[in-house]
Structure 1
Amino acid sequence: TVKIDNRPFYAKKRNIFLVTGVLAGLLIGTFGSGSFTKSVSDRSIAVLPFSNYSTLPEDQYFSDGITEVIIANLAKVGGLKVISRTSVMEYKGTTKKIKEIAKELGVTHILEGSIQKANGRIRVVGQLIDTKKDEHLWAETYDRKETDIFDVQSDVALKIAEVMRGKLSEEAEKLIKVKPTDNIEAYDYYLQAQKYADRRTQEDLSLAIIMLEKSIELDNNFALAYARQGYFILLKEFLKNGKVGEKLLTRAKEKIELALQIAPENPSVRASFGFYHYYGFRDYRKALKDFEFALEKEPGNSKHLFDMGSLYRRLGEWEKNIEYYSRAYAIDPNSISYAQNLQQSYMLVRQFEKAEEIADEMINRHPDRSTGYARKINVLLARNADVDAAKIIMEKAKLMTKEDLLQLQLDLSLYKNDYSSFISILENDTTEYFIRQWNYQPRFFLLGMGYEFIGEKDISIKYYTKALKMVEDKFADMPTDPRINLQLGLIYGKLNRKREALRFGKIGSSLLPVSRDHLMGAHLFRQLILIQVYVNDFDLALDNLEYLSSISSVISYGDLVGDPNWNPIRDNPRFKKLLTDLQ
């Protein structure tokens, strides 16, 4: 039995999160109206994608790389607000006017330019515009050898910092002037690797790792190439399995340690070492030290801010999590990932009004992307199980991905108690497993649930038995995966095998407890509570449900009202009190 303070978390921390909400509001603007209202700093700048005037279209990644490096260099300058790469890339090839872009991004200054690459030479043209005064503050044309590209990138950043009166320390200037490599071909492969990695698919990350190997073959002192390769090895495996195996962990460490030997003060190298601790061991405190170092060197880098926020979320330090996510989103307002994660954090702390505002802003900024609509529906369901409003939003959704559409259709049918539709959706789909960071559900398990809800016990047992065979096979290969252990517990619970259900449930939850990872641990702990409900261990289930409701977690009023899995304890006075407290 877990001893808890029965007051809901939002009641105990209300004042703190009101302050956090105000802070985030100041940082990320006012959402929901289609505009993005904020005070605009005179030291704010967006570097638009440099136009590629080269004869080969495939040289586009080179011009994109120039843009990225100038942004990264400006992020090293204190006192400047520099819009991040993700947001400015949205304006590649745009016909919008400079003033309109500046207004959308919340900046005063715009740097635009072009690059032409041919016969071993480059021509770079850049100009800085004050959009308030409609004045050109700086302009320059560089005609250089291709190998001088690093000097050009550094010079542009330093000139912009001077014009905008940024706080340029000696250390920052030194970092900006450092050449990443003396081999332009090695740098070319490095830029190609980044292009592939941006897509974050398993295939593209594999190609990125290969490109970096070619880069290292040409320059075995290229620290950034080693660091990025080590990071991509970690990222690829973590995205696939939620953890990194010992063999790949060793390989990644070797690459990153080589980078550290060459460039120990480089912020990107140190950040990569932070991810070694993060993805390899879930040692968030150790990772935090490396991320803090990187952020100190590049105070305007949204990626470092976002990574810090992610660590604080895992550590359960929600005020800091929301603060850092808000700061990252403020300088990368077109990033769907940053918006989505900030919105999810507001949902986990049950600040649903803020979560809905950000979902609305995502829809306004990206009306042809499904993410904003999906996040809005999730808010409506979590807050008060408002199925009718969610259905209206779903009908408005554009270009909904198959994965998002399927999950939302299943959620809506469950919350409406429309179990026939729930079954029909699953029977018309061919997905074997529904896999997320926190669960590993066979489609047959969900079909078993559907048939159980309509009273077809024999059919449900048939599907649960099929699901059990599938997950037992997975367990043979993944015995320490908490998702597999908990899924076994859930299936055993449905098959009335109480002893095995509780054993695997406890093992699964203990492999990644809330105390170690507040984000994932809470999701996994919810599954343990469901197992306890399935085997009629109601007192223990309610003890743990009260605990999970008392902290920031996935448990919400809408979840308890809408999910039929809670039906066995729905009439219990303690459950009813939880509903009252969460409403």
Structure 2
Amino acid sequence: MSKTTSTSDFLQKAKALVLEHLSDEQFGVSELAQATNMSRSNLLRKIKKETQLSASQFIRNIRLEKGKELLEATESTISEISYDVGFGNTSYFIKCFRELYGVPPGEIRKQPTEVAEEVIASETTLAAETPKKQGFFSKHTNKIIIAATLVVIVLIVFFWKETKADSPKPTSVQKSIAVLPFKNMSSDSTNYYFVNGLMEASLNNLQKIEELRVISRTSVEKYRNTTKTISEIAEELNVNYIIEGSGQKIENEVLLNIQLIDVTSDTPIWAAQYKHELDDIFSLQNNVAKKITTAIQVTVTPSELAQIEKKPTENLEAYDYYLRGLQPLQTQTREDLLKAISLFKKAVELDSKFALAYAKLALAYFYLDIYKQEKQYTNELNENADKALLHDPKSAESLIAKALYYMNNQEFNLAVPHLEKALEYNPNSAAVVLILSNLYARAIPNTKKYLKYALKGEQLNIQANDSIGKSFIYLHLGDALIQSGFVEEADKYMELSLAQNPNNPYVPYLQIFIKYAQHKSMQKTTEQLIAEWKKDTLRTDLLQEIGKMYYFQEDYENAHYYYKKYNALLDNAEIDIFPHENLKIAISYEKVGAKEAAKKYLDKYVAYCKKDVSLYKSASLAILHLYEGNKEAAIEQYKIFATKDHFQYWIVLFMEKDPLLKSLQSHPAYIETMQKIKDRFWENHQETKKMLQENGLL
């Protein structure tokens, strides 16, 4: 047998094994290696040699190819197909699909020639919207991940399609429940949206109860067609109770079968069959929620009960349009978003006080603008958010809609109270927690609050995700921990992140700086950053850090070399990131004689300082004053900064590494002022530690 034939047989066998375990999202590289009786390293090498793909890419592409076949041959929804082919998260399926095929899944159902013509005719447009991968970052990805990293990525994945409320630690004392996807008993597939609506209404009502931990719809959707037992599902979701249901709509009647299962005994503790008139649908939903809370003995406060009993609308036709709009909203393709908007508009035309429909309209407009530097739908987003708040100011959805407007408008401080209030009305909202953690990470920096919400986000989200999702959640938490000075804890979460996804490119990057906090070797850190950058020379984040390390070491030739590469990528992408680093860039250019470029970046830094309203403004001004030779003004700004709270650990580690501070070391107040800044940080660190321990978060 020839080598080529042998290789072909191997790949065919590997593909057959992946297809055999297609719906099992846990079937990854290790499982494939075991199934082929190969070591993991041998499998990786063999697949790489024969396909030029990593093993994880090889598996993922097989899943995506099958997903494409199902899209073309079946009427299943994108959400259903994503779980059928082993993606635990619909948004991640859509993202990977677009990367492989250049179009979102929803476009595949157009006529093939139509799609081909679109791709050919609008290659430039598609490249702007969904770029082909260029190393780790493409031109567009730089814009999204770096320029819009404050909130956008988190919102894409989690907002109103939240991952489940869960903790990596057993929480058997807390009452927890999962509502499995209801089955459509009708032979009419057009009733699918209605049965989904019954399931989602039951889930939403339960999520309003603080004493009850409720798993989100996204997390349970993967069990729609599962063969797993109730016990197996409960163990995976770490819940005490499971709800199963089936339903259908026949003309003006609703039929619903539902049962509540105690997983400890694997037996139903409550079951009911309902046959109601359609105009009694809301009382049916409320009755189900009350029966369940009574059966599991959960305390429902009066305010929570009021939220549960509140009717979204009195107009059943409007409610029907609303339910029809939810599915296209979830897929997030432009075509489907416009379809969802049309359906939600019909809902509010029939009921002009339908707050929930206005909130979903706001969300749809937000998604339409999500990747655009020039926003087109800000007014529509704001108008619908305002109408949602006007008609239901105590709705979490209304509050989040308004928060989205403020974030879209860069008014982050105004978004926070709306998000915090939304969390009061929906304490199981992982989305709100994650949005808040991201806001406090960058937009309105506060390391204490960032860590608080990052830890809560991990508890709410971790078991809901596939390995890639889990890896990024652990990474997010590790970042929050190191920013607050918890070095050992951050290192632990980096290892957990790598264990979930060894190919997560951000983990080694952050690990380098966590290790620096331990060994304090600038040279070693520089060498490690360069080694990481060589894996993907288009990574602007690494280039900027390498330039900075050489700047700290006063190696301006090398600093200029890497800063020049960094700026070339930014110019090509037409973005300006890390503006607070522009003075270091200006000085590096100046030192090698590039006077004109130096002035360009100095002017940018001065403009940045004028606009800066963050807690770091005084520190930024201090270093500018030092550059200008004004030591007194500099020390005064550092004294101001010494009064600030919850700034990042990086300040303590790197502030005095800046060569400009050498000129300030002879100032009588220098040592005392620097020590006050460090003392302030460690006081905040201890305060944060105490808060986390008291709340069981550390």
Q: Shorter-chain TM-score: what band?
A: 0.5 to 0.7
- Which of 221, 225, 233 does residue 89 from structure 1 map onto? 221
After TM superposition, give the deviation of residue 67 of structure 1 in Å: 3.1
SS of residue matched to 1:173: helix
- Pick from 599, 611, 614: which aligns with 1:511? 611
CA distance in 2, matches of 1:461, 1:311: 28
- Residue 481 of structure 2 aligns with which residue? 346
Match of 1:496 in 2: 595
Cα–Cα, structure 1 residues 380 and 311, in superposed 2: closer, same or farther, change >3 Å? closer
Question: Aligned partners of 1:272 and 1:457: how far apart in 2?
Answer: 44
Q: Distance in 1 between matches of 2:571 and 2:210?
A: 58
- Judged with a 3 Å threshold, the aligned counterparts in structure 2 of structure 1 residues 469 and 232 are, in CA distance, closer, same or farther, namely same
Q: 1:450-495 deviations in whole A, cap 9, x for unaligned?
A: xxx9989999999789668657xx58xxxxxx63967987876644
Structure-2 change in CA distance of 1:197 and 1:150 (3 Å): same
Which of 42, 45, 50 pairs up with 2:177?
Answer: 45
1:294 aligns with 2:422: yes
Is the CA contact 1:81–1:300 (under 8 Å) kept in the aligned structure 2? yes
- Secondary structure in structure 1 of the residue aligned to 2:358: helix
> Structure 2 residue aligned with 1:116, among 222, 235, 248?
248
Highest Rg: 1 or 2? 2
Assess if the C-alpha contact under 8 Å between 1:501 and 1:531 holds in 2: no
How far did residue 110 of structure 1 move? 1.4
Structural mapping, 1:521-560, within 5 Å = 556=650
Partner in structure 2 of residue 264 of structure 1:
393
Which amino acid is 2:427 matched to?
A: P
Matched ranges for 1:452-491 at <5 A: 470=572, 474=574, 483=577
Asked if the contact 1:231–1:272 (Cα under 8 Å) also holds between the matched residues in 2, the reply is yes
Map of 1:34-433 to 2, 5 A cutoff?
36-41=168-173, 43-55=175-187, 60-117=192-249, 119=251, 121-146=253-278, 148-184=280-316, 186-191=318-323, 193-198=325-330, 208-234=340-366, 236-237=368-369, 240-241=372-373, 248-284=377-413, 286-313=414-441, 314-333=443-462, 334-335=464-465, 336=469, 341-359=476-494, 361=496, 367=500, 373-384=504-515, 415-416=527-528, 425-426=536-537
Q: Deviations over 1:298-336 (max 9, x none)?
A: 333333444444455454443343333433432333253
Over aligned residues, Cα RMSD in angstroms? 5.4
**Contact 1:87–1:332, Cα closer than 8 Å, also in 2:** no
Q: Render the CA deviation track for 1:373-420: whole Å, top value 9, x for unaligned.
A: 34543442231269xxxxxxxxxxxxxxxxxxxxxxxxx99744758x
Q: TM-score, normalised by structure 1?
A: 0.64
C-alpha distance in 2 between matches for 1:296 and 1:457? 49
Which residue number corresponds to residue 31 of structure 2? Answer: none
User: What's the secondary structure of 1:483's corresponding residue?
Assistant: coil
Q: Aligned partner of 2:408: which letter?
A: Y
Equivalent-residue separation in structure 2 for 1:369 and 1:128 (angstroms): 39
CA 1:296–1:572: 2 relative to 1, 3 Å: same
Q: Give the gaps of 5 or more residues in structure 2.
A: 1-164, 518-523, 666-673, 682-698
Contact 2:560 2:585 in 1 (8 A): no
CA distance in 1, matches of 2:560, 2:650: 32
Q: Distance in 1 between matches of 2:567 and 2:498?
A: 42
Note if contact 1:28-1:327 (Cα within 8 Å) is conserved in structure 2.
no
Contact 1:490 1:530 in 2 (8 A): no
Unaligned ranges ≥5, structure 1? 1-26, 30-35, 387-411, 476-481, 561-565
Q: Is the 8 A contact 1:49 1:112 kept in 2?
A: yes
CA distance in structure 1 between the aligned counterparts of 2:335 and 2:490, rounded to whole angstroms: 33
Q: What is the one-letter code of the residue matched to 1:170?
A: P
Counterpart secondary structure, 1:179: coil
The 5-angstrom pairing of residues 17-36 of structure 1 reads: 36=168
- TM-score by length of structure 2 reads 0.55
2:447–2:483 Cα contact (<8 Å) kept = no
CA distance in 2, matches of 1:468, 1:106: 45
| Secondary structure at the counterpart of residue 136 of structure 1 | strand
The Cα shift of 1:193 comes to 4.3
Determine helix, strand or coil for the equivalent of 1:331. Answer: helix
Structure 2 counterpart of 1:292, one-letter code: E
Q: How many corresponding residue pairs?
A: 486
Considering Cα pairs closer than 8 Å and 6+ residues apart, tell me whether 1 or 2 has the greater RCO: 1
* SS of equivalent to 1:377: helix
Q: Distance in 1 between matches of 2:456 and 2:571?
A: 47
Distance 1:461 1:121 in 2: 68
Q: Can you list the C-alpha shifts for 1:268-315, whole angstroms capped at 9, x where unaligned?
A: 21232233334324242x433323332333333333444444455454
CA distance in 2, matches of 1:369, 1:153: 44
- Equivalent pair of 2:246/2:258 in contact (CA under 8 Å): yes
Amino-acid identity (%) = 24
Alpha carbons 1:352, 1:379 under 8 Å: kept: no
Cα 1:417–1:512, aligned 2, differ >3 Å: closer, same or farther?
closer
Whole-angstrom distance in 1 between the partners of 2:527 and 2:334: 34
SS of 1:91's equivalent in the other structure is: coil
